[in-house]
Amino acid sequence: MSLLAVTHLASASAWAVYAVGALMALAGAGGVVLQRNPVHCALALVTTIFGIALLFIDQGADFLAAVQVIVYAGAIVILFLFVIMLLGVDRKEQRAPEKLKGLIPVAILVGVVALAELLVLVRVHYWATGSKAGAGALNGPGENVQKLGQSIFTAYLLPFEMTSALLVIAVVAAVVLVRRPSPAPPGHEHRTVVGGRGTARSGPAPARATVAERGTPTERGSGASGGAEQSGSTGEVVR
């Protein structure tokens, strides 16, 4: 009798863990889609990541849960927040009119159809062949980290080395992408070039003000108004 009670209690606790993780994941996912402010979206993504890490622990993937929290919540979301703060896009999302009419209902319809397909796939029981992948059994002697490490460093050694090459390529690509195209000599001219770029593409207001008082040839014409006396000295640097 007491054994049955213990079993019921364990089952209830397992369902409770699943419910908490699922609620965190779903609430965070809804927040990512529905929040207007990108910072709130990033925080909702953190909620989802913690919920999924909880479900990882519940399924015996201890190492992956730790890596999930460290890499996703600690690195990727922080990187998102850095970019949001750096670019200043956290004010509000532009509400320009949609170029395609009725895009949102179609998008929701596509999502619902995809979800229905996935749920049908869950109901079909014969997609798993049951043949082992050569990576070893999950249940067995030893810790999760030990077995995962042995599998990665023996059976999956070549993909592991390729991921290191991929990370190096990603670092080089990030440096190349974000680097400024023409390294101007330090001092006055460099700032002028940066300001001039901001104006030509309808940049933020301060950049436009700086260049307006310096006087670009494209905007000011050939010295019609005040500030034209400077356009001869700095005008060539801008374009």
Partner 1 sequence: MTVPGAWYLVLAACLFGIGAVGLLVRRNILVMYMCIELMLNAVNLTFVTFSRMLNDLGGQDAVFFILVVAAAEVVVGLGIIVSIYRRRSGATADDISSLKG
* Six-digit token string for 136: 């070893």
- 72 versus 231: smaller Cβ distance to partner 1: 72
Whole-number minimum distance, CB 213 to partner 1, in Å? 20
* Least distance in angstroms from the C-beta of 147 to partner 1: 6
Question: Do residues 69 and 49 lie in contact, with contact meaning Cβ atoms separated by under 8 Å?
Answer: yes
Place of tokens 């889609």: 33
Nearer to partner 1, 123 or 187 (CB): 123
Q: How far is residue 224's CA from residue 86's CA, in Å, rounded to a whole number?
A: 37
Local structure of 179: helix, strand or coil: coil
Closest contact distance (angstroms) between CB of 80 and partner 1 is 6
CB-nearer residue toward partner 1: 161 or 236: 161
In terms of Cβ atoms closer than 10 Å to its own Cβ (0-12, 13-18, 19+), residue 61 is: middle
Compare residues 182 and 202 and give the one whose CB is closer to partner 1.
Answer: 202
Tell me the closest approach of the beta carbon of residue 228 to partner 1, in angstroms.
28
How far is Cα 40 from Cα 47, in angstroms, rounded to an integer? 11
Task: Please tell me the distance from the alpha carbon of residue 82 to that of residue 71, in angstroms, as a whole number.
Answer: 15
